[in-house]
Structure 1
Amino acid sequence: MNTNTLARYFMVLALIMILSGLVFGVLASHAYLLPDFMKSSGGFARLRPMHVSAVLFWILLGATACVYAGLSRLGRPFAPTGKLGLIQFALWIIAIIGIFYCYFTGDIGGREYWKFPPQWAIPIAIAWVLMIVNYFKGIGSLKERPVYVWMWMTGVVFFLFIFLENYLWIFPYFRTHFISDMTIQWKVNGSLVGAWNQIIYGTSFFVMDRISGNKETGSSKAAFAMYFLGLFNLMFNWGHHVYTLPTSDYVRYVGYIVSMTEWIIFIKIIYTWRASLDTARKNYHYFPYRFLMASDFWVFFNLTQALLLSIPAINLYTHGTHITVAHAMGTTVGINTMILLAAFFELGGGNVRRDAHGKWLNISFWTIQVSLFVFLIALNIAGIKRGLWQMSSERIPFGEMMDTLAPVFAVFTGMGYILMLAMMVPVIYLL
């Protein structure tokens, strides 16, 4: 099996995961309006981990597809082994079937964002080991390689280390010490984002080079500056995830400063790259270009929100509210998903110009952006109200406070439906 075919397998599985994640997410949102929705089948307690796992797998499988598709286009000596990749793919299939079987039967035994029983992490870990072996067999020497080769390498190696760290809680030594256990769990979730961001941002640089027709972006000093900053980021940006735990202040501040700086550099790189493109290339690579530009907007949107959340007085109100959810979803859908869709159109879906399937893809593109914006605004409004309630001296019952948010949740759910339907158009096209 050649690497391009292997990439296609991972791409299809990733697209199935994002479709599943959208459906589970919309169903879970009904719990805010109808607390008894699907309660006999487990309701929100089952739908939420299904949604979260499906979206996480979309990112991980999509990133894997992009790495293999990218390597297949770089030519010799970039030649990963198809057999190892196929075993890796089979392990992912086994893990996904086992994990969702557990969810459907109510066997939920993991931790935040990884709620499945820990034994199903084993095939994922083995699959990732095979990917690391395959990657190093494929790239050969790292000398004079563009930045995305380094970013992919860093992402796949660090992800495995952090993923294993995520399961330290199975050992009593860590599980019985509450603060240490919580610190590790929150640290891991922040660092995992940094690891897959290395892969996804590396993919964005690769796509930029493909669209521009040269390797200037991927070999620029700014791109390598972002690589080293991103490396530091994935090791230390988790500081702001433990803001409410009794840890040293410098850990939190370093985490925020590094994270914000990385995004600012990413915006600068995209702005410089966009200015270098002529109209013909923008039209020929129309949808990859569009989705990259969308990710640029959402980076700015999330940067603004993150800067506000970095203020301790504000963080005290927002931590654990729907604002945290909005920030996570803005990053996952607005940044990571837009970059992955840009890469899928460029690497796996062919070059779709403005006049090719343009009408429905164009409508869906703008519908995704607008519905996501309203969706996130609704979540932020709900988070503000809940934060004020949490810190209020008045003892208003939780149920009464939630009842006042019903109109906001109605908008949130409605936008979720629109976002799901709009996202189906490019996803089904790419399938």
Structure 2
Amino acid sequence: MMNKDTGINFLIVGIGALIVGMFYGCFGALQHVYPELNEYFSFQKTRPLHVSLVIAWLYLGAIGGIYYYLPNKCGVPLYSQLLAKLHLWIFTITGFVIIALYSMGIFGGREYWAFPPILAIPIVVSWGMFGYNYIKTIFAVKTPWPVYFWMWGTGILFFLFTFLESYLWMIPYFGDSIVRDMTVQWKSYGAIVGTWNMLIYGTAIFLMEKVSEDSGMPDLEEAAPKMGHSKIAFLLFFLGFLNLLFGWAHHLYLLPSAGWIRHMGYLISMTELLIIARLIWQFRANFIAGTNRFHIMPFRFLMAADIWIFVNLALALLISVPAIQLYTHGTHVTVAHAMGSTIGINTMILLASLFFVVGDRKKVPNNGIVAKGFWIANISFFVFFVCLVAAGIVKGFGVIEEEQTYHEVQASISPFILVFAYSGLVMFVGFCLVLIPAAKTLMSASVTGVTGELSSSAAVEHEAIEIPPSGSADHLSGGKPDSAQ
């Protein structure tokens, strides 16, 4: 059932993408344990389906939140509902075409964008609509902008730039040189990660501000509007922007590039994780002062994200050491790092956002099926993560130190892969217990909280908005933040 609120429809499509993406991820893991499954559906198809659908979830979840929060929580009507709906339909239809092509074994692109390059055109068009709609929407706000407005806008605009950059391989100057090709490929993919980090970390700061406002704690409610304008929040934005520009550099240890670029890139990416961890931990300390708020679902998922930030940061710092990366590069340790970011950090933040929206429609019990799914997903993900790290370490030493053959390496890591595959299945069940009730609530017609009727169409005159100095949006600016003036 389609909802009138485009943001909610994005979230529903995103939930579908995540569930199907996790299904293919589980199937791909089982293909490593039971190779005969490749006779029914090859891993060549499974991997791009899994990767593309999970990346789609990251963007759909973030975009859905932005479309929902601007009119419903920030009091800023969308410039054009029509552009938002066109964005949804173009993005979704293109996604179904890509899934169909992958399922038939039709490819034509590169890693992560393995679909035929012609399908990049509707993606660029839909994002162009999104960017134009977003800019016209927030430029109507004449009072100081919170940091998440800046982060969302930066993520949107730089996605367009880096996505186009990832297709430079089609130009002979880049495609005919392996060094230029690999450098641009990994630069663009690293920057793409920076764009969804901008969107998702901006959402995290937004959630911390809004959850604080509804906390029932006077001191925290009074401080909440300042959270999106704090110096540390803007420090995260600037570090995130630097990471978007240079954080990709640590992928190039094995390519002939200047050492200072690699070292600076990794330093920036690690500092960014430290800042977002400090923000969430500070929010946690304030929020539970005097009372336990773990029963609030958005808060619970934000706390899970914070724990996984520290775990992933520890792993990232280790594999950033060149002597260690020699053993871990291209092994399951790299996969663990990617999964720690995608599932442990980004997905947990997006689930916090999802249940913040769900909370406008239905109260989520703190001991119901969603709570059980939360624990099942996180505990099984920990087992999943540890198995990947262990398998990567064993493989690295087997290849580098003992010069084992491929079959010898596979035999040595097979116990870890077996547990990894089955813990993935349990994790899938846990996430389904979380996602399916949320999808049912979003698809229902009844709305008990704020509705999405504040949005306007492009045909309606879009007047400048002055947010009053109270409530949740009292510091929105088209100019510099208060802390920077």
Scaled by the length of structure 2, the TM-score of the pair is 0.85
Q: Taking structure 1 as reference, are residues 159 and 280 closer, same or farther at Cα in structure 2, changes over 3 Å only?
A: farther
Q: Residue by residue, what CA displacement relative to the aligned partner does 1:103-157 show, whole Å, maximum 9, x if unpaired?
A: 1111022111111111111111111000001101111246511111111011101
After TM superposition, give the deviation of residue 349 of structure 1 in Å. 4.5
Q: Which residue of 2 aligns with 1:342?
A: 352
| Counterpart pick for 1:362 among 365, 371, 375 | 371
Partner of 1:322 in structure 2? 332
Is the contact made by 2:152 and 2:202 (CA closer than 8 Å) also made in structure 1? yes
Would you say 1:238 and 2:245 are equivalent positions? no
Tell me if structure 2 keeps the 8 A contact 1:66–1:203.
Answer: yes
Letter in 2 for 1:118: P
Structure 1 residues 103-114: aligned runs within 5 Å: 103-114=102-113
Which residue does 1:423 correspond to in 2? 431
| Matched ranges for 1:269-418 at <5 A | 269-278=279-288, 283=293, 286-350=296-360, 356=365, 358-392=367-401, 394-418=402-426
Q: State the 1:81 CA deviation.
A: 1.0
- Post-superposition shift, 1:395? 4.2
**Cα distance, 1:77 vs. partner?**
4.1
Give me the whole-angstrom Cα distance separating, in 1, the residues matched to 2:248 and 2:398: 27
2:131 maps to: 132
| 1:148–1:218 CA contact under 8 A, matched in 2 | yes
Cα distance in 2 between the residues matched to 1:114 and 1:421: 28
More off after superposition, 28-37 vs 253-262? 28-37
Residues 4-57 of structure 1: per-residue CA shift (max 9 Å, x gap): 70001100000000001110000011121122313343x111101000000000
Q: 248-257 or 66-75, which moves further after superposition?
A: 66-75
2:120 corresponds in structure 1 to: 121
Q: Equivalent residue for 1:73?
A: 72
In structure 2, the CA distance between the partners of 1:166 and 1:277, relative to structure 1 (3 Å rule), is: same
SS in 2 for 1:216: helix
Q: What's the TM-score once normalised by structure 1's chain length? A: 0.95
Report the alpha carbon displacement of residue 347 of structure 1 after superposing the two structures with TM.
2.1
> Aligned partners of 2:227, 2:354: CA distance in 1, in Å?
19
Report the Cα offset of residue 173 of structure 1: 1.8
Aligned pair in 2 of structure 1 residues 363, 74: CA closer, same or farther (>3 Å)?
closer
Tell me if the contact between 1:166 and 1:184 (Cα under 8 Å) persists in the aligned partners: yes
Q: Which residue of 1 aligns with 2:161?
A: 161
Aligned pairs for 1:219-238 within 5 A: 219-238=229-248
State the AA in 2 paired with 1:172: P
Q: Secondary structure at the match of 1:427?
A: helix
Q: CA deviation at 1:375?
A: 0.2
Q: Which has the higher contact order (CA 8 A, sep 6+)?
A: 2
When residues 49 and 406 of structure 1 are mapped into structure 2, their CA distance, relative to the original with a 3 A threshold, is same
Which residue of structure 2 aligns with residue 31 of structure 1?
31
**Aligned partners of 1:416, 1:21: CA distance in 2, in Å?**
12
Contact map agreement 2:372 2:433 (CA 8 A) in 1: no
Give, in angstroms, the shift of residue 69 of structure 1: 1.3
How far apart are the structure 1 equivalents of 2:263 and 2:4? 43
Specify whether residues 369 and 77 from structure 1 end up closer, same or farther in structure 2 by C-alpha distance, changes over 3 A only.
closer
Could you tell me whether the CA contact under 8 Å between 1:217 and 1:273 is conserved in 2? Answer: no
C-alpha contact 1:212 1:281 (8 A) present in aligned 2:
no
The structural deviation recorded for 1:186 is 0.9
Deviations 1:236-290 (A, max 9, x none): 1111011111111101100111111111111111122122225798649711000
The answer on whether the counterparts of 2:205 and 2:227 sit within 8 Å (CA) in structure 1 is: yes
Contact map agreement 1:183 1:245 (CA 8 A) in 2 = yes
Q: CA RMSD in A?
A: 1.9
| Structure with the higher helix share, 1 or 2 | 1
Distance 2:249 2:209 in 1: 33
Contact 1:4–1:72, Cα closer than 8 Å, also in 2 = no
Q: Is the 8 A contact 2:287 2:293 kept in 1?
A: no
Q: Is the 8 A contact 1:287 1:352 kept in 2?
A: no
Q: Is the 8 A contact 2:70 2:76 kept in 1?
A: no
**Any unmatched runs of 5+ in structure 1?**
none
Cα distance, 1:292 vs structure 2: 0.2
Whole-angstrom distance in 2 between the partners of 1:309 and 1:191: 19
Runs of 4+ in 1 over 3 A off after TM superposition: 74-78, 278-285, 348-354
Larger radius of gyration: 2
1:345 Cα offset (Å): 0.4
- Shift, 1:97, TM fit: 1.4
Q: In the alignment, is the contact (CA less than 8 A) between 1:207 and 1:343 conserved in 2? A: yes
Unpaired stretches in structure 2, ≥5 consecutive residues: 214-223, 440-485
After superposition, what is the alpha-carbon deviation per residue over 1:142-197, rounded to whole angstroms, capped at 9, x for unaligned?
65111111110111011110011011112222111001101111111111111111
User: 1:183 is matched with which residue?
Assistant: 183
8 A Cα contact 1:291 1:342, kept in partner: yes
| In 1: Cα distance, 2:316 partner to 2:97 partner | 36
Are the equivalent residues in 2 in contact too, given 1:211–1:281 (CA < 8 A)?
A: no
Aligned match of 1:192? 192
Conservation of the 8 A alpha-carbon contact between 2:371 and 2:434: no
Q: Is the 8 A contact 1:318 1:324 kept in 2?
A: yes
The structure-2 alpha-carbon separation of the partners of 1:105 and 1:429, relative to structure 1 and needing over 3 Å to count, comes to same
Q: Are the equivalent residues in 1 in contact too, given 2:200–2:349 (CA < 8 A)?
A: yes
| 1:347 counterpart SS class | helix
Between stretches 313-322 and 282-291, larger displacement belongs to 282-291
Deviates more, 1:244-253 or 1:113-122: 113-122
Identity of aligned residues (%): 40
Partner of 2:448: none
- Letter paired with 2:432: M
Amino acid at match of 1:202: G
State the aligned residue count. 427
